[in-house]
Amino acid sequence: MKPCVCRVLLGVALLVAGAEHVLAASAGSWAGTAPPLAVASADRHACSQPLQPPPLAAGGQLAGVRWRFQVPPGAHVQARLCHPQRCVELPAAQGESRALSGLDAGQPLQLCFRLQPGEAPQRVGGSQLLVDYRP
């Protein structure tokens, strides 16, 4: 190959690598898990420990959240995902939502549960979040 063609190809490779670096720095995600919870009341929520975002999320905005939790077969609990500014109802034991989009990504999130009226106390386990954020 001619020297000038090599320089052009090297320049393109550096631009692509630089663009990938910018994309990686401009958005991110983090995962959090919470220990099992005993849910004993229909009147009060039992909430997970606050799941803390990494320092890189500070100054960013939430883009979307995926969640998953487990309850015993046949058990019914009401679930919500809470940010210090707002909570959203979770319609199923796993799913995805953009309802918290735009909120401060540097704040912790919590999963909160309460029993349906008339339900026996339950144990909620396997609670996980995957949080996407952007600058």
Residue-wise pLDDT tens digits, 55-111: 999 999 999 999 999 999 999 999 999 999 999 999 999 999 999 999 999 999 999
| % of residues, the chain, pLDDT over 70 | 81
Mean pLDDT over 42-65 rounds to: 97
pLDDT band at 1; cut points 50, 70, 90: low
pLDDT number for residue 26:
59
pLDDT number for residue 20:
37
For 28-79, the DSSP string reads: EEEEEEE--EEE--SSS-EEPPPBPPPGGGTT-EEEEEEEEEE--TT--EEE
pLDDT band at 15; cut points 50, 70, 90: very low
Examine the pLDDT at 18 and tell me if it is beyond 60.
Answer: no
